[in-house]
A and B are shown apart, each in its own frame.
Chain A
Amino acid sequence: MFHQTPLKTLAMALLAAGGVACALTTGFYGRELITEIAILAMLAIALDLVAGYGGMVSLCHGALYGAGAYAFAAATVLAGWGGGAGILAAVLAGGIAAWAVGAVTARTQGIFFIMATLAFGQMGYVTVFDARALGANDGLPGVPRLDLSAIGLDLGDSRSFALFCIALAVAAYAFAAALLRSGFGRTLVGIRANAARMRALGLPVWRYKAAAFGLSGAIAGLAGALAAQHTSFVSPGLLHWTVSGELLILVILGGLGTLVGAVLGAAALVLLKHQVSGFTDHWHLVVGVVLIAAVLAGGRGLYGGIEHWWTRRRMPAAPAEGGGA
């Protein structure tokens, strides 16, 4: 069950404020990193929505992200549409592809679901890799950014774009939280707990799962559209299963099934990798050790660890609190 606890609100507020502060004060590359984190956080929220609450651990979110990025790039570069239409195309591409995958894989569980999503994701990757109309493995260059000059925003400026991405990441969080608190979200959690019982209650389980997966895909597609605008370039690597794999890793690291953890995990992994690769080419080793250590230290994930520490600290004073998410 999802609860928007005060701690979660505080954590999200701090994360967003930190992001904004960095975007306003740092140099060019710092803003690039903040933008990367915001986009990745959005994608992580999409994955946590289905993996953490619906039990659908997906290995095709990289492909959905890529589908969004390519939809935006194709709409703007190839078809010559505006940025707004491009974003709509990206959201629809991610959403529809995800709904279809969710619908046909609804009967599979656990590792079988993971591998089925991997299969569809990789088929998408290979298709784009070979699609000459989409630039094949060279990708598509020259992706423009959304034109918001009507409301006085120049997204070509890296600071404005970073703030724009942070705002959309916060909106994605709010959307996911609202969805999980609705009747739909409670049903989703119920299906994860006992699909057979929900089915016995007469619930069309596959429809709920497909719908949830579709919504998650739509968020992933939006994140993809932002990524395409950020680098002004798309390439098939965006769809590869390793993107999905690393995404899953950072969601688990942050704390699966907490939403805030997804954001924390994205920030932690990007910054860790960046800091470590600054002084050694062997950053894989350090990140690997950190992942192992995170599990040995309790295995609650970053946010789970914070929550655990917070409740324990508050316990003696206010025993009635805690026990939340």
Chain B
Amino acid sequence: MTKLRISALGGAALAAVGLAAAPAAAEDYTVGMLLPYTGVYAALGEEIDQGFMLALELHGHEIPDHSVTVIREDDEVNPQVGLAKARKLVLEDEADVLVGIVSSAVLGAVRDFVHQSETPLIVANAGNDEATGERCSPFITRVSFSNSQVNRPMGQWMYDQGIRTVYTLAPDYAAGRQMMETFAAAFTAAGGTVIGQEYTPFQTTQDFGPYLTAAKAAAPDALYVFYAGGEAISFVKQYDSFGLKTEVPLYASGFLTSPLYVDAQGPAAEGVIGLLHYVPTIDTPENRAFVEAFRAANGRMPSEYAVQGYDAARMVIEAIKAGAADREELAEALRRVSFVGPRGPLEIDPATNNVVQNIYVFETVAGEEGLTQKILDVLEAERDPANGCELE
């Protein structure tokens, strides 16, 4: 091992955004961006990154005296790798704040390190309830969503639509189970019955035929599911091809028909009703401006992931505006941030550090430029219970 030039080993992709001509009191903040840039969630990592950079571009003028440097690391959707990269960003690159994390398993892995090293972390996707529940931390704020937030409200809502029996399907892993269990609890509490519940092998299921056939045989009033990525596309197409659409309506945690996938799903996605914290058709000036800017920069409609990245950068900027200079002050300031973003009013719940936000019930419908999202209902300022979190 004679060739090691370890000094060069720390080299990561650097993207410095010079936000001003650096006056004397200027501070440079380093953001460690921990996202999957390869592997099954690469598309999500890219969206979050694009949203983040867009916000720095559009809102950077709000902190004219300071600059923000972004150092990117790929967590490869692997908890071990994610933890190693988080350590690198904090200990070697001396990041002031970490942003990102798509997978809940990666979040679970880095949680203790972030908490013990007292580094502020803005979670820009991973939704496991524990991160803002029993394993919450004053240093971890979540700007994306919790699994409960994007499933629980659907229990009452579907019951109010006259649905009495439901069959659920989701991938067999922690997030899939958590989403279905939260929904089932709320639906049962409202007075409905879950007559069947099946979990499909995670990321290896390509043929949903056997499960769809069993679900159809159970003859429920509705199907409630969660799938994302390639599985979301396969599931919706196969649901349609088995003729379930005319017999059993499909409801879902809204990731199923995310703007990222509806083009690939095609007409099969029409009529699917989802629940999500953002859809690009929200009719507010903030969202119209955001959608326009994102489309101009990236040539496609933004998804919920892009908004999560965008709002994460807004949080960083707001915290800097509040005068936070070091990790401790940043963590403190991040917990007090509130602003109106593309998805409506946002604030961080001081009891859990999870975001409080509007949740949208939407139907995927045919529009002028292909499929689009029609908002059926807005559930305002959805807030999670403390779930065992004791921050104060």
| A159 CA to B248 CA, complexed, in Å | 60
The answer to whether A277 touches B74 (Cβ under 8 A) is yes
Knowing A141-B108, A231-B80, A279-B11, the reply to whether A27 touches B173 (Cβ < 8 A) is no
Task: Please indicate the chain A residues that have their CB under 8 angstroms from the CB of B74 in the complex.
Answer: 277, 281
- A18 with B4: in contact, given A28-B92, A141-B111 (CB under 8 Å)? yes
**Which positions 2-55 of chain B face chain A at CB distance < 8 Å?**
2, 4, 6-13, 37-38, 42
Q: Are B173 and A22 in contact (CB under 8 A)?
A: no
Q: Is the interface of A mostly helix, strand, loop or mixed?
A: helix
17 A-B pairs besides A28-B88, A28-B91 with CB distance below 8 A are A15-B1, A21-B1, A22-B1, A26-B7, A27-B7, A28-B87, A30-B6, A126-B201, A129-B202, A136-B174, A233-B109, A274-B9, A275-B8, A275-B9, A278-B11, A278-B13, A281-B38
* Residue interface mask B178-194, A partner, CB < 8 A = 1: 00000000000000000
B104's partner among A26, A33, A138, A142 (CB-CB below 8 A) is A138
A26 & B9 in contact (Cβ 8 Å cutoff): yes
In the complex, are the beta carbons of B6 and A231 less than 8 A apart? no
User: A248 at the A/B interface (Cβ < 8 Å)?
Assistant: no
Q: How many residues of B contact A (CB 8 A)?
A: 37
- From B10, B42, B84, B105, contact of A139 by CB (8 A): B105
- Name the A residues within 8 Å of B201 (CB-CB): 126
Q: List 29 A-B contacts (CB under 8 A).
A: A14-B1, A21-B1, A22-B4, A25-B6, A26-B7, A27-B7, A28-B87, A29-B9, A32-B88, A33-B9, A36-B84, A130-B172, A136-B174, A137-B173, A138-B104, A138-B108, A138-B128, A139-B79, A141-B111, A227-B80, A233-B80, A237-B78, A237-B80, A238-B80, A267-B1, A271-B4, A279-B11, A281-B37, A283-B38
- Kindly state the interface size class of chain A when it binds its partner: 35 or more
- Is A199 engaged at the interface, CB distance under 8 Å to the other chain? no
Interface residues of A in 122-168 (CB under 8 A from B): 126, 129-130, 136-139, 141-142
Whether A233 and B92, one on each chain, are in contact in the complex, defined by CB atoms closer than 8 angstroms, is no
Q: Please, what's the 1-or-0 string for A23-57, where 1 marks a CB less than 8 Å from any CB in chain B?
A: 00111111011001000000000000000000000
A160 to B104, CA, bound (A): 31
Does A284 have its Cβ within 8 Å of any Cβ on chain B? yes
The residue from B13, B88, B109, B174 contacting A29, defined by CB atoms under 8 A apart: B88
- Do the beta carbons of A137 and B105 come within 8 Å of each other? yes
How far, in angstroms, from A238 to B4 measured CA to CA in the complex? 27
Q: How far is the CB of A222 from chain B (nearest CB, A)?
A: 17
Residues of B within 8 A of A232 (CB): 83, 112-113
Contact A27 B6, CB 8 Å, known A137-B174, A137-B202, A281-B38: yes
The majority secondary structure among interface residues of chain B is helix
* Of listed A15, A30, A283, residue having the most chain B CB within 10 A: A30
Contact status A235-B80, CB under 8 Å: yes
Q: Would you give the shortest CB distance from B228 to chain A, in whole angstroms?
A: 15
Min Cβ gap B48→A in Å is 14
A141 to B115 alpha-carbon distance, docked (Å): 13
Q: Is the CB of B38 within 8 A of A139?
A: no
| A284 partner residues in chain B, CB cutoff 8 A | 38
Closest CB in chain A relative to B14 CB, distance in Å: 10
> B72's closest neighbor in chain A, by CB?
A281
Indicate if A185 sits at the interface (CB-CB under 8 A). no
Q: How far is the CB of B210 from chain A (nearest CB, A)?
A: 18
User: Which of A22, A235, A279 has most B Cβ within 10 Å?
Assistant: A235
- Known contacts being A136-B173, A137-B173, A141-B109, is A233 close to B9, with CB within 8 Å? no
- Any B CB within 8 A of the CB of A95: no
- Say yes or no: is A19 at the interface (Cβ < 8 Å to chain B): yes
Q: Which residues of A contact B174 (CB under 8 A)?
A: 136-138
Binding site for B on A (CB under 8 A): 14-15, 17-19, 21-22, 25-30, 32-33, 36, 126, 129-130, 136-139, 141-142, 227, 231-233, 235, 237-238, 267, 271, 274-275, 277-279, 281, 283-284
Smallest CB-CB separation from A274: which chain B residue? B9
The answer on a CB contact under 8 Å between A26 and B13 is no
Interface residues of B in 65-123 (CB under 8 A from A): 74, 78-80, 83-84, 87-88, 91-92, 104-105, 108-109, 111-113
Query: Which chain A residues border B2 with CB–CB below 8 Å?
Result: 14, 18
B42 neighbours in A (Cβ, 8 Å): 281
Cα–Cα distance between A17 and B1 once the two chains are bound (Å): 8
How many Å lie between the Cα of A29 and that of B91 in the bound state? 8
Lowest 10 A-B CB distances belong to which pairs?
A: A18-B1, A30-B6, A26-B6, A235-B79, A278-B11, A281-B37, A137-B173, A29-B88, A29-B92, A28-B91
| B-chain residues with CB within 8 Å of residue A29 when the two chains form the complex | 9-10, 87-88, 91-92
The residue of chain A having its C-beta at the shortest distance from the C-beta of B12 within the complex is: A278
In contact, B79 and A237 (Cβ under 8 angstroms): yes
Using CB atoms, name the residue of chain B closest to A237: B78
Contacts of A15 in B (CB 8 A): 1
A52 and B87 alpha carbons, distance in the complex (Å): 36
Residues of B within 8 A of A141 (CB): 108-109, 111-112
A25 to B9, CA, bound (A): 13
Bound complex: CA A129 to CA B202 (Å): 10
B111 CB to closest chain A CB, in angstroms? Answer: 7
Min CB–CB distance B116 → chain A (angstroms): 10
A22 vs B113: C-alpha distance when bound (angstroms) = 25
B123 to chain A, nearest CB (A): 15
> From A17, which residue of chain B is reached at the shortest CB distance?
B1
Scoring B13, B87, B109, B111 by chain A CB atoms within 10 A of each residue's CB, the highest score goes to: B109
Chain A hits for B78, CB < 8 A = 235, 237
| A19–B112 alpha-carbon span in the complex (Å) | 29
